[in-house]
Amino acid sequence: GENVEQHPSTLSVQEGDSAVIKCTYSDSASNYFPWYKQELGKRPQLIIDIRSNVGEKKDQRIAVTLNKTAKHFSLHITETQPEDSAVYFCAASIGAGANNLFFGTGTRLTVIP
């Protein structure tokens, strides 16, 4: 199956700075790449996703970029705020079905006020 690696495992930034989380995947057939945010003690929630026919997608302060040739994708958060502190998971799948969805190991982001 697909192997998704995520880095870094922990990330601390000052409020207002940018944060970047990177993921690589192994199966070149993967074509759907979601990002989930999990606040402490809460359920994971989708924050943004991208499909392989798109190189970049933005939603306010968050953006995701995809490089299919290199098989890596990244989450960018600009102007970080304390409420951005959470664990972020990347994932990859062949098709959008979750039965083929493989998650990375997570990045704990801490935004320091």
Partner 1 sequence: DAGITQSPRHKVTETGTPVTLRCHQTENHRYMYWYRQDPGHGLRLIHYSYGVKDTDKGEVSDGYSVSRSKTEDFLLTLESATSSQTSVYFCAISDGPNTGELFFGEGSRLTVL
Residues in touch with partner 1 (CB under 8 A): 1, 4, 6, 32, 34, 36, 42-46, 49, 89, 91, 95-99, 101-106
Whole-number Å distance between alpha carbons of 90 and 88: 7
| For partner 1, the closer CB: 38 or 78 | 38
| For partner 1, the closer CB: 7 or 79 | 7
Q: Which residues pair with 75 in a beta bridge?
A: 21, 64
CB of 14 to partner 1, least distance (A): 26
- Residues 38-74 as b/e (b if ≥16 CB within 10 A, e otherwise) read eeeeeebeebbbbeeeeeeeeeeebbbbbeeeeebbb
| For partner 1, the closer CB: 2 or 78 | 2
Q: Is 20 left (phi over 0), alpha (psi -120 to 50) or beta?
A: beta
CB of 91 to partner 1, least distance (A): 8
CB of 36 to partner 1, least distance (A): 8
| For partner 1, the closer CB: 18 or 58 | 58
